[in-house]
């Protein structure tokens, strides 16, 4: 059960796990999502430019791609999860019901 709580906490921090209607109507989740997307964009654009700059040197390119590829993967995953959040809310509801049943028995 601790793993579920840990994942739930992580998803709540980045704004992908919200249970209450009051939380969904609040402005804070939208601000947090905007800040996260802006940070991902401002981090990924310079790393992509640095990769293009060192394109001829294989050692420097590999060293640069160790940072660039994970940042791009996280950005794409975040956008997809935000896009599919309505489907995730149904999954969250089912998991909350199951978690509460397991917790109380």
- Specify whether the CB–CB gap between 43 and 71 falls below 8 A: yes
pLDDT tens for the chain, 105 residues: list them.
Answer: 677 778 777 777 777 776 656 556 677 777 877 888 888 888 888 999 999 999 999 999 999 999 999 988 888 888 887 777 665 556 655 666 555 555 555
Sign of CA dihedral 18, 16, 26, 13: positive
| Residue-level pLDDT at 53 | 93
Distance CA 58, CA 53 (A): 12
Distance (Å) of CA 15 to CA 18, 21, 75: 7, 14, 14
In whole angstroms, what separates CA 92 from the centre of its chain? 16
- The full set of domain ranges for the chain reads 2-17+28-104
- The reported pLDDT for the residue numbered 23 is 58
Q: What's the pLDDT score for residue 74?
A: 85
């Amino acid at each position: 059960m601790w793993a579920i709580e840990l994942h739930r906490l992580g998803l709540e921090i980045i704004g992908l796990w919200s249970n209450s209607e009051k939380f969904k109507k609040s402005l804070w989740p939208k601000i947090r999502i905007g800040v996260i997307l802006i940070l991902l964009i401002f981090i990924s654009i310079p790393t992509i430019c640095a990769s293009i700059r060192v394109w001829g040197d294989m050692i420097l390119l590999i060293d640069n791609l160790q940072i660039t590829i994970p940042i791009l993967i996280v950005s794409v995953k975040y956008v997809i999860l935000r896009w599919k959040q309505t489907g995730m809310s149904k999954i969250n509801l089912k998991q909350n019901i199951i978690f509460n049943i397991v917790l109380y028995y």
